[in-house]
A and B are shown apart, each in its own frame.
Chain A
Amino acid sequence: MKDTGELLAKVRKIEIKTKRMVDELTGGAYHSVFKGRGIEFSEVREYTFDDDVRDIDWNVTARTNVPHIKKYSEERELTVILAVDISASGLFGSAELSKREKMTEGAALLALSAIRNNDKVGLLLFTEETELYLPPRSGRTHGLRLIRELLGAEGRKKGTNIASALETLAKVLKKRAVIFLISDFIDGNDYEKTLKIVARKHDLVAMRVLDEKELSLPVLPGLELLDAESGKSFSFSATGKNPEKFRIAAEKEEREVSELCRRSKVDLIDVRCGEDLVRPLMSFFRSRKKLAR
């Protein structure tokens, strides 16, 4: 993360790695799910024989005495915002990749898919505060820049504040955008209201990255724990019913986030650290497609 060469190598690696996934995703799935908002007027030109007579714009024809047609084009160019949580809690990981790395991978995949589709992609990195905002732009160079920023990001703060990140986006984005909120959703603050407000205006998709071990822990006698975000330590003794209780508590917290998303009409993509990224994304796109029909 410190060395530029190393960083670039990583960017390239992640680009290659995600390329296959991008191909899979952009083979229709991505494109059709995020449609442009209707059609927009593009030009008025003279009628040729190939054109449909229904397209003739009679006003212009009457004014000029030459038949003209009005041309519309599909408004395709989407704005995709990736809001990525780079709080300290992302450093946890029991599998090959930590949550943070998985999030980076997910974000990179989405960014490259969007770029492939000629969409504009913006990036927001946040912790307790907004750490970085890159306005949406298109182009491969920009895509790679995003990935570089994702890989090299180091938050000044450690905590998580989803509400403040969403508020920032709401302020910055004038037009409707697709927002991918990529986080582990471990946030002590209440962000339901903001989530609802932003979800109403934008197409908000939550991507939750969790590690299996956060939900159930192996049997250990006593465990010294350190909260990554608050820095508080806690000693947990996994005796008796405690591990079971922990599992229940963790699942409850997970369920609460899921329910919150459902209430706020935000689509939730659940990703596990040790698992494949494409499958949950594909199933998400498929379900979206069904809904769109």
Chain B
Amino acid sequence: MINTLQHPYLLFLLLPLLLLFFAAWKRRGGAVQVSSVRPFREAEGGKEKFNVRKFLPLFFYTLCGAFLIFGMTQPREGLEEIRRRTEGIDIIIAIDLSGSMAVYDAPSGTSESAVASSISSGRLKNRLETAKEEIRSFIEARPNDRIGLIAFAPQPYAVCPPTLDHAFLLTHLDELKVGMIGDRTGLAGPVASAAQRLKDSDSKRRIVVLFTDGVNNVQAKVTPLQAAKLADSVGVTVYTVGIGGDNSYAVQQDLFGTRLARVQQPFDEDLLKEMADSAGGKYYHAADAKGMKNAMKEIDKLEKTSVEQTVIVNWKEFYPVITLLAVVFLLAGFFLEHTFCLRLP
């Protein structure tokens, strides 16, 4: 419903309207001069009655005026609210799409059969899906930050530059699939590309969150450590999240059907740690979904946003309805004045 008046000061016009109403009410219009009103008064029961005939049309006219004034104040409803900090931070989330992201991480100590049943029932998700879920809640928890998305495998691909349009961001996040852009993992590319993007940003705080599960196995011109240092030099903080535990399974399809294969693929924890350290960030290890959640919570806590400001961007205007009502009242008043409330002369 209506929650904002764009020009509330126009409501003061109601005051002159009220005065106008009283002036019209007190005003003596034309009247038939008779010798004596006594018999008329007697016919009506001897006392002055409230003049409904005069009041009703006048009331409707005044109502029309009031609605017009109300319409002029531009009453409207903000449909979409964006809470925006005075200084938002820029975040780029870099997510690994290499083949190993399809691996399922089970909490350590879970038997293989239990893992299989959880996978088929959908309780256990693969690394990418888990990461997506956590990223999603992370994005939703930070509505005021400009967040961008970079997917990488051997090469980084900018999915979305830092934006406040999180809905757009989330749809693109959903579309990411394992192996879309290759199987290997290049850690330098996304960091350098994110640093490049954030370099010219006017935000006070600029961070990159790198999600990966693999070892850097692409030999680019820039090493991951160099990329991290580059980021640091332009004031970008890098957080790294290493995904993968000691109880991981890959789903393999062959002639005999689907089966689980234990994966023993360690990631380069030292490199990730070093990268984070050299770029002022922190390294988190997410062995499974729970670990992932903790990592995201930590980052969220570290990058607390400041004062919020509500800006309403999409409005529903009510003046057409109100003006229509005013016209209806006008017509009603006119109709009454000339029919049921007809007064002579």
Which residues of A approach B to under 8 Å, CB–CB?
88-92, 99, 184, 186, 188, 211, 214, 220-230, 232-237, 242-243, 245-246, 248-250, 252-253
Contacts and interface: CB of A to CB of B under 8 A. Distances in A.
A250 B53 contact: no
B43 A236 contact: yes
A252 B33 CA distance: 21
Interface of B: 28-44, 48-49, 51-54, 340-345
Nearest to B40: A236
B42 A245 contact: yes
B48 A221 contact: no
A248 B44 CA distance: 12
12 contacts: A92-B34, A211-B35, A222-B341, A222-B342, A224-B343, A224-B344, A225-B32, A225-B33, A226-B31, A226-B34, A243-B43, A246-B42
A225 B30 CA distance: 8
A250 to B, nearest CB: 4
Given A220-B344, A253-B38, 11 more contacts: A92-B34, A92-B35, A186-B36, A214-B35, A228-B34, A228-B35, A234-B40, A242-B43, A242-B44, A245-B43, A252-B39
Contacts of B39: 246, 249-250, 252-253
A291 to B, nearest CB: 31
Contacts of B29: 224
A227 B48 CA distance: 14
Contacts of B37: 225-227, 230, 232, 234, 236
B323 to A, nearest CB: 31
B31 to A, nearest CB: 4
A234 B52 CA distance: 12
A230 B42 CA distance: 16
A160 to B, nearest CB: 9
A235 B343 contact: yes
Looking at B29, B35, B38, the one whose CB has the most chain A CB atoms below 10 A away is: B35
B35 A224 contact: no
Contact of B30 (A214, A224, A228, A237): A224
B49 to A, nearest CB: 8
A42 B38 CA distance: 55
Nearest to A218: B344
Contact of B344 (A99, A223, A249): A223
B285 to A, nearest CB: 89
A243 B343 CA distance: 15
A226 B32 contact: yes
Contact of A221 (B30, B35, B41, B343): B343
A221 B342 CA distance: 6
A235 B34 contact: no
A187 B85 CA distance: 83
B36 A227 contact: yes
A237 B35 contact: no
Contact of A91 (B28, B33, B36, B48): B33
